Amino acid sequence: MSEKKKKVKHPEVEINGTTYLRITIKTHVVMKDDDLIDVIKKYISDVKQPGDLLFISEKIVAITQGRAYPLKDIKPRPLANTLSKYVTKTPAGIGLGMPETMEMALREVGTPRILYAAFMSAITKLLGKKGVFYDIAGYKAKSIDGPTPNTIPPYNQYVVLGPEHPKEVAEEISKACGIDVAVVDINDLDGDVLGSSSKKYDDQTIVRILKDNPLGQDHEQTPLGIIRETRSS
């Protein structure tokens, strides 16, 4: 059977009359013991130009902060097993739709808030409104990544939490590497800027530039990218 073709994303996008080039940067598989700033310096030194913005997947920030946990070490409580059954699965990933990721959400956010988010989500779904769960549970719950069939090993056997202090991380990397930085959580459905050092680009503009998720969600191994303005009207 032939492999399904993936949609090729164009390297350039136009937003409000301005054209931006998105350059994705392939790295080795980043692990807990890697120094994030050293990794970034290694891979962007020959690519960056003045005026560029470096965007970084929140996942490699979290991994280097020690916030990736092997599935075998996570013991879901009965509540996690129950709640995970009611999570809507999407093409963007497993989210909290498995007991292990739901267990980590309960630990990160707290049981009362997760229960309240689940209750309000159930009520509002009956009224035709979606997305309330994560609005209430917050970024810590939304940023939890579970393994999918396309996750690069060894992270196909891990749960990765959202990064801690992403704005401070962005500012630290910016200072060390001499480039504006945004830590982003982008998937094929939506996206967020978790922290940014940029004064040139507001968060909404960054999300619009990256809306089609140029870093990808499969085996691209491109956790870093650069936004470069190429033409302006």
Rounded Cα distance, 98 and 103, in Å: 9
> Is the model's pLDDT at 217 over the cut of 50?
yes
Q: Is the pLDDT score of 3 beyond 50?
A: no
Residue 63, token pair as written in the block: 């991994």
Q: What is the pLDDT of residues 94-148, one digit of tens each?
A: 789 999 999 999 999 999 999 999 999 999 988 888 889 989 999 899 889 998 8
Is the pLDDT at 20 greater than 70? The verdict is yes
pLDDT bucket at 220, cuts 50 / 70 / 90: confident
Domains assigned to the chain: 12-65+163-232 (3.30.1330.100), 73-160 (no CATH)
pTM metric for this prediction? 0.88
pLDDT above 80: residue 9: no
- Sheet strands side by side (includes 191-196): 12-15, 18-25, 224-232, 53-57, 180-186, 191-196
Nearest to 42 by CA among 24, 61, 26: 26
Among residues 193, 211, 213, which one has the least CA distance to residue 203?
A: 193
Q: What residue spans of the chain are helical by DSSP H? A: 36-44, 58-64, 78-84, 99-109, 111-126, 132-137, 139-142, 166-177, 203-209
What is the reported pLDDT for 177?
96
Q: What pLDDT shows up at residue 218?
A: 60
What is the Cα–Cα distance from 109 to 144, expressed in whole angstroms?
11
Structure tokens at 207: 């999300």
pLDDT, one tens digit per residue, over 199-210 is: 999 999 999 999
- Region 18-45: mean pLDDT is 95
CA angle 12, 58, 74 (to 5 degrees): 140
pLDDT at residue 85 is higher than 60: yes
**146-166 pLDDT per residue, tens:** 988 788 899 999 999 999 999
Average pLDDT (37-59) is 96
